Structure 1
Amino acid sequence: MQVFKALTPVQAISFDLDDTLYNNKPVIAAAEAAMLQSLARHAPITQGYDSEYWWQQRLLLAKLQPAIRHDMGRWRLLAVEAGLVTLGLAQCEAAEVAELAYDAFWQARTTISIKAEVKALLIRLASRYQLIAITNGNACIHRMGLGDLFEFSLQAGPDGRMKPYRDLFIVAAQRLQLQPQQILHIGDSHRADVLGALNAGCQAAWLDHHHAAVSVLPHIRLTDVQQLIALC
């Protein structure tokens, strides 16, 4: 752990989820595979179209509706629907198939195993601080078995614009009835988590997986989430 700025008293700790509490790459890979299988089952015309096709549909939709990027779930759902229409499905059928495909994606995307040592760390932190989650994605703390440790989870889209916008951090402070500086936010993305937290007046801990050089420093830099045990 590197300390760049002394922490002022912390009342709550906010966690990013993806790639902070677990490795998100295999989770997304499994979710993408589940979505493709559902599409092939309910709309055979999609066979042969891989994840790249559906990613391009998302990019096209984002050009038409830039704000859709702030809601990852809705962005994916509507992009799948648009892609199905492009392949020749009627709008009504496309909407139904997209819902089924997105549900398959979400079920796999929220099937996440938290390592025992990470959960043990969270239990220790929860005995001293209020814990919350602030995520740009749509992982579910309850489905990963952390619902009893966290006060609540905020997601980009339903709860505000995605990090690094201030929205989610400000909503968190209001719900906790704290000042932003009383919240320490921890995440792996320098842009989303560190800059977002600092922009909102929160303190920031950066889980730096890649030892990247940056011009704006967090309060502390971590190389392993277990280093947070020092806060206990």
Structure 2
Amino acid sequence: MTGLEMPEVHEITKNVLAVTNLYHASGKRGTNAGIIFTGNEAVFIDTGMTIASAEFLWETALSRMNQKDLHLNVILTHHHSDHVFGMQLFKEKKATIYAHENVRDFLENDRGQYKQFILDNFFDDPKKGDKILGDVILSLPDHFIEKDTILFDDEVHVLFTPGHVSSELSVYHPDSKTLFAGDTIYEGMSPNTRFGGSNEWRTWISHLERIKKLDIDTIVPGHGNLCSKDEIDNNINYLKELLK
């Protein structure tokens, strides 16, 4: 693989996989993603920050597909580069892309500006960074999700959980009791709050409280290790401290 990542694949069940520690340009803790197989569908949660990360997700899924004619889907938890820069690989494979309406301003009519921003702000050597990120091409999703939505015969529940950013989605798989939280939940590190203020943090807390009511055995955070519901309170308490 290109880049510095050493991703790990976690088999939560035979049909639910978490992929942790995908490449992140900050050099800190990597980015997480997920794969759900249900019926004739393969559902990828996020696409990583590099084309190599997207390829790793694809190869991981391909090695576990019990049939090769599955319809491919991608749910983007939000618009940040470490979650969407790999989307073109899945577009080329005819995947159906889902995201919240609020990704529009960041993905529509992009002509490489977002990638250039990352190269200028995260890499000492932009040429090296360009090789690491790969051929990033951003485009609008096929379907916008504006509220809690159930997909694929009640197998995949997409939750609107803004707070970190206004486009934030989480993905709940009731059968395996797994939550793919995107950046709604962080493990082993403080939540990234620099994209909002007190109003956004209160909204964030309200959605974390809502998530606590779900029957969850495993949380796949946007960053950090797989964790239990206990991590939700750690995130809530951090945000509450900011509001004091």
Same fold (TM over 0.5): no
Structure having the higher helix fraction is 1
- Report which structure shows greater RCO (CA 8 Å, sep ≥6): 1
Of structures 1 and 2, the larger Rg is shown by 1
Structure having the higher strand fraction is 2
